[in-house]
Chains A and B, each alone.
Chain A
Amino acid sequence: MIEIKSVYKTFADKIVLNNVSTVFEPGKVTMVIGRSGSGKTILLKSTIGLSSVDNGEILYNNRDFFKSNIKIQRKIREEMGMVFQGGALFTSATVQENVIFPLDLFTDWTKAEKLKRVNFCLNRVNIEDANNLYPGELSGGMQKRVAIARAIVLNPKYLFCDEPNSGLDPQTSIVIDKLIKELTLEYNMTTIVNTHDMNSVMGISDKIYFLYEGQIEWEGVSDDIFNSENQNLNDFVFASEFFRKAHSSGTINGRMVKQ
């Protein structure tokens, strides 16, 4: 479990995180949604300690990340897997080298054992016969999937995904979403996904935080998202024509959304 308590962050004079408190639970996909620039990436980067905060606490199973020394921080980080907004695969290494890298660092397994695990993970994300290709030779969706494989190779307790669907077609997005959901349940991971894709929100979220100008303006579950009083959330949710129409017709994914 990850707890974020009253986190503040400013850049120069601009407040980008304003008293943010959240709880991310194991076995659940928690989604942080919000418009571009609302602070999703900063929140994620602060959570994993890549970006410092001005005030507040971030607890990993009760271990305060920012108050821990660098050794413990690295230890906590070994328990994290992260899929970056752009994939962040090592461009000078092959797919196999990318995925095997965390194993090289943190296990004493034999080469054969490591390869077995790498192939298992690549299989898990439906990447086949691509071990010796370089990231530049893969499509965007494949890169994302390799990034997921690399993120889960060490069986992380915490999985962070920054807009895993950006730049992907709707079908591929669904594949990636399902994958994230399944992996979360399979390994009881604490999964946090940043997104502004309402399809993902409706599809796989267990818990939702809506971030608006650095503040959590709404939290809840997907079933309630259409019935909120919050104007900013409604503007966000109904920005898509599809959701507006679905809402006025009363159903989404076969679910009633209107009382």
Chain B
Amino acid sequence: MNFLVLIGKYFFLMKTVFSKPVKRKIFWKRVLEEIDGIGINSIWIVSIVSVFMGAVLALQVATNFESPFIPKYLIGFSTRETMILEFSSTVVCLILSGKVGSNIASEIGTMRITEQIDALEIMGVNSANYLILPKIIASVITFPILTILSIMLGIFGGYMVSFFTGIVAIPDYIYGIQVFFVPYNVLYSIIKMIFYAIIITSISSFFGYYTQGGALEVGKSSTNAVVASIILILIFNLLLTQLLLL
């Protein structure tokens, strides 16, 4: 029952979010701000995580496939495929839900409890639209770019580890990352990322927007936002994989 009410409230909020902005110019200025806050500010964490993950993937594949019958280029190949299929979209988003999601929920939650949202409403601004829609748009624009970046940096991580440890000869690794390339998989990854972007930003905004009480409740909203985003990402990962890959 409670759960259904929550879902109803979410879609009610989204209806308000997706309406016409007050002024175009102000709206796009907000989108740019959010591109900076949500996208640009996430580059560093995505980069670090991806380089390390690519390196570890290459190492693990190398230690597991020590048979002489398995060609070495598979190290490059599997590093690339894992990054594309799963890591650079789903795992990166699980991390981003912690960073971006909690940030959004606490920002909007604080605005709620300090009456800043009321102040917007009283000025005749659709506060949900003004605060939330730019976040959703910014994430839909930047998250796919982060995916591409993550894929490239993951492959680079594998390259670095091959270079320094010699687990695989560089030409083999280079061959591996080019062989059997299915461009559709990148598209699949980007489509997933767009869904995750909407999930993280809208769910976190939702929890922030309906915060009631004080600082403690802002903390709770932000925890709830992260937990809900993670669960939804996992569910959508399953659904979208069924739909897109089979």
On A, residues with C-beta under 8 Å from B are 45, 48, 50, 74-75, 77-78, 80, 82, 84-86, 88-91, 101-102, 104-106
Contact = CB atoms under 8 A, between A and B. Distances in A.
B119 interface: yes
A177 B208 CA distance: 35
A101 B123 CA distance: 9
A90 B118 CA distance: 11
Contacts of B118: 45, 50, 82, 84, 88
A45 B115 CA distance: 11
A88 B22 CA distance: 21
A82 B120 CA distance: 10
B119 A106 contact: no
Contact of A77 (B23, B110, B121): B121
A119 to B, nearest CB: 20
Contact of B124 (A75, A84, A89): A75
A25 B10 CA distance: 40
B123 A105 contact: yes
A160 to B, nearest CB: 8
B37 to A, nearest CB: 10
Contacts of A105: 22-23, 26, 123-125
B1 to A, nearest CB: 17
A88 B114 contact: yes
9 contacts: A45-B118, A48-B122, A50-B118, A82-B119, A84-B119, A88-B115, A88-B119, A105-B22, A106-B124
Most chain A CB inside 10 Å of its own CB: which residue of B22, B26, B110, B122? B122
Given A50-B122, A106-B124, A85 B114 contact: no
A77 B125 CA distance: 9
A256 B191 CA distance: 78
Contacts of A91: 110, 114, 116
Contacts of B23: 104-105
Contact of A86 (B26, B114, B125, B126): B114
Interface residues of B, number: 16
B122 A80 contact: yes
Most chain A CB inside 10 Å of its own CB: which residue of B23, B118, B126? B118
A251 to B, nearest CB: 39
A77 B124 contact: yes
Contacts of A80: 122
Contact of B123 (A85, A86, A102): A102
Contacts of A48: 122
B61 to A, nearest CB: 45
A227 to B, nearest CB: 37
A253 B121 CA distance: 40
Contacts of B123: 77-78, 101-102, 105
Contacts of B111: 90
A88 B116 contact: yes
Contacts of B115: 84-86, 88
Interface in B94-125: 110-111, 114-116, 118-119, 121-125
A104 B27 CA distance: 11
Contacts of A89: 116, 119
A74 B115 CA distance: 18
A102 B122 CA distance: 10
B69 to A, nearest CB: 60
A181 B71 CA distance: 85
Contacts of A75: 124
Most chain A CB inside 10 Å of its own CB: which residue of B22, B111, B119? B119
A90 B122 contact: no
A77 B232 CA distance: 38
4 smallest beta-carbon distances between A and B, as pairs: A88-B115, A77-B124, A88-B119, A74-B124
B116 A90 contact: yes
Given A88-B115, A91-B114, A104-B26, A82 B124 contact: no
Contacts of B124: 74-75, 77-78, 105-106
Contacts of B125: 105
Given A74-B124, A78-B124, 18 more contacts: A48-B122, A50-B121, A77-B121, A78-B123, A82-B118, A82-B122, A84-B119, A86-B114, A88-B114, A88-B115, A88-B116, A91-B110, A91-B116, A104-B23, A105-B23, A105-B26, A105-B123, A106-B124
